[in-house]
Amino acid sequence: MSDLEPPSDEIEPISAEEMGAEDPGEGEPRRYPSTIGGGFYLVVLAVVAIAIGIITYGNWRIGVRWFGGALLFAALMRAVLPAKDAGMLAVRKRWWDCFLLIATGVALIVLAASIPDQPGP
């Protein structure tokens, strides 16, 4: 039981493209689509998917190193791309994104190298 009324049929829907969507912070029209950061994001996701496959069906150490390497690559791309081109790599402030990606990537690589082999059955 909601107190909200259904939308009126008198108002015609309009898309953001027809309104001339602008980024309120920049003052210039939004570049649509902005694909350079999105492209690098897809590369990182592809490498992570490969890493998960390697972890599942191969040597887990190599897969974890690939995963860590993908995060380090993401940190590098986040560091060099401007905020408007970073796409989904930009979540927080640039230094914070880079710090978290580097710390996680290095931690994964170090842990994969430092965990001793377990004796087999």
Domain segments of the chain: what residues? 32-114
Residue 74, H or E segment: helix 60-80
pLDDT of 8-19, one tens digit each? 667 666 665 565
Higher pLDDT, 58 or 2: 58
- Reading the block at residue 59, the tokens are 């040597």
CA dihedral sign, ordered 54, 60, 65, 70: positive
Instruction: Point out which residues pair with 29 in neighbouring strands.
Output: 22
- pTM surpassing 0.95? no
Placement of tokens 């402030």 in the chain = 93
Residue 118 has a pLDDT of 77
Please state the rounded mean pLDDT for residues 64-89. Answer: 91
Residue 38 has a pLDDT of 82
